[in-house]
Amino acid sequence: MEAVRLTGPLHSHLLRPKQPDFTSLNLSGTHNKKNIHPFKPFIAATVSKPAAEISSKRPSFSSSSSSSSSAAAVTIRQNDASESSLAPPPPRLVVSPDSLKYPSGYLGAVPDRTVADGSNGIIDAMGYLTNILASKAYDVAIESPLQFAPKLSEKLGVKVWLKREDLQPVFSFKLRGAYNMMAKLPKEKLDRGVVCSSAGNHAQGVALAAKRLNCDAVIVMPVTTPEIKWQSVERLGATVVLVGDSYDEAQAYAKKRCEEEDRTFIPPFDHPDVIAGQGTVGMEIVRQIQSPLHAIFVPVGGGGLIAGVAAYVKRVSPQVKIIGVEPSDANAMALSLHHGERVLLDKVGGFADGVAVKEVGEETFHICKELIDGVVLVSRDAICASIKNMYEEKRNILEPAGALALAGAEAYCKYYGLKGENVVAITSGANMNFDKLRIVTELANVGRKQEAVLATVLPEEPGSFKSFCELVGPMNITEFKYRYNSDKGAVVLYSVGVHTASELEAMQERMEYSQLKTYNLTESDLVKDHLRYLMGGRTDVQNEVLCRFVFPERPGALMKFLDVFSPRWNISLFHYRGQGETGANVLVGIQVPSMEMEEFHVRAKGLGYDFVVVNQDTDFRLLMH
């Protein structure tokens, strides 16, 4: 089979039309297919590059392939020789995940394909197509079933299909790409062994591939990796090395060891053979679906899966939308598409750890920029709701990244009022850390809009609590927190079960009519993660700096923190909230005089833990002061 080639201009019929008909925002909530001016997402001031400055220039792609069997797998079209040899690569744009926001379900980050379209193509579509068709992934992977979801379909008014990649031998799609790349390596490279860095599913895919190919594999994982994950890799016969607190540290060690031992590095997503292996998922969907298909929803981390699916589906069924789904706090692909170049996130949310990457792949970004239709962003609550929906539908529990595409499909269908269409969501993995189930059960009903978190200010007088309960009326109170507050108004924090939005609105109107100020805190992660457990500790602390830190889940993390700040300053508050992730959310109060704030920030940054100061958070001031 001829190798994938990226040289030569593409003919326009190999890719999408120059002006594809995107679904645009209709303020009435209906699914509007007219090519009207789309809704402009909120872009926070922290974005350092406006949308108007989107670059039309493609950076050169440097392949990390060690395979000589696929004619080097990729032929690179070089830029002007003098430019590529003399000019250093431009610095990566660093942005915050919070800098790009738009409503849940809205199809945003639509790629700009109006510049040099058809003459500066990113991929040879036929080359990827033939490599996907010839993929060796089926030596280890199964053709996963495409299952109809009757309960979700009835609820949403569309036909929802689940592409069950969570049923693969390692409970994830990752083995497809890993095996496809490794199986193409020449024997002398396999004999020298392979190495990869991963916190979970890719590690298991490489380990299984190595076992099948009788190849020695070293898997480098952060020391924060849950025991269940690295033990699963060891059981497959690979050598596990735990290094560093973060994935970046583990990857740096893996590449160093790769050079020292002359092993082949197996990347998790940014390689043509890996992309082609993942593309077999799209090939199967096209073959399995019997009716016209509106869209395929794909979870996005580094972009290997969505690039592979798009490379196949857009070649054979260009009318099908390929929609990426990312967590709103791990939206590297959406921000890269928005800026027209790969960006680096300054921090990344770890709840959906399978897609928690700070930077998407170079080749995967080029493919996505050419072929996908946009990205839907969803919240942690929505992911938890979809995990519950999947359990009720099929009695299977997905990991957060595995439920991501389903959450995006649900949000998209609701946002646009889609009816009667066929949509596919790829359920990409089921390697759930059991400890994480606690937070999933707490937030699932919030994500389903079946529970609301509220705060109401009551007068501190006899009978006020009884009057409050009467105003709540028939709604079920699922949680209630209150502590006496001297002669001030008492703030009660509570949750109620919700059947309809109008029911909640009616209750809030009753409260306001009775002069009881009520706040809806359902969207506040600070409240749900920390403040709901601290009610009763209301006080004013002099010079208190309130921060949210992410502690690595490993022995010694707390002592490292204390060595930096104590006894230099007094710690006035500490609340740890484990969520079964590689990092734990910790709310910390530290008494720092204003003249010492510069020193505090230097120490906090030097600690190496992600943190944010939340002193001015309105929810904290409401509940704790």
- The torsion of the CA quartet 338, 339, 342, 348, rounded to 10 degrees, works out to -60
**Residue located via tokens 């749900």:** 528
Rounded alpha-carbon distances, angstroms, from residue 524 to 23, 201, 305, 381, 457:
30, 30, 31, 11, 18
- Among the options 336, 379, 428, 524, which is catalytic? 428
Cα separation, 133 vs 105, whole angstroms? 33
Catalytic: 174?
yes
- Closest-CA residue to 264 (of 77, 63, 427): 63
Cα separation, 51 vs 28, whole angstroms? 26
384: Cβ contacts below 8 Å, ≥ 6 apart = 400, 439, 440, 441, 442, 443, 444, 446, 447
Cα separation, 168 vs 150, whole angstroms? 23
| Tokens (6 digits) for 439 | 């937070």
| Tokens (6 digits) for 348 | 């990344």
- Among the options 136, 159, 174, 358, which is catalytic? 174
Give the single-character DSSP code of 462: T
Instruction: Write out the H or E segment, with its range, that includes residue 364.
Output: helix 362-371
Rounded alpha-carbon distances, angstroms, from residue 113 to 2, 80, 100, 409:
28, 22, 20, 24
| Tokens (6 digits) for 182 | 């490794």
Cα separation, 112 vs 369, whole angstroms? 8
227: Cβ contacts below 8 Å, ≥ 6 apart = none
Cα separation, 240 vs 598, whole angstroms? 41
Instruction: List, in sequence order, every residue forming a beta bridge with 544; answer none if it has no partner.
Output: 591
**Ramachandran sector of residue 341 (left: φ over 0; alpha: ψ -120 to 50; beta: rest):** beta
Helices and strands of the chain, counted as H and E runs: 21, 22
Instruction: Write out the H or E segment, with its range, that includes residue 209.
Output: helix 201-213
CB 161 within 8 A of CB 147: yes
- Closest-CA residue to 141 (of 120, 114, 171, 119): 171
Rounded to the nearest 5°, which phi and psi values hold at 526? -60, -40
Cα separation, 153 vs 470, whole angstroms? 38
The one-letter amino acid at 445: N
Rounded to the nearest 5°, which phi and psi values hold at 193? 95, 170
Cα separation, 334 vs 345, whole angstroms? 11
Which is it for strands 583-591 and 570-577: parallel, antiparallel or unpaired?
antiparallel
Residue 430 DSSP SS3: coil
Rounded alpha-carbon distances, angstroms, from residue 359 to 45, 247, 605, 624:
21, 12, 21, 37
Q: Which residues are catalytic?
A: 174, 428
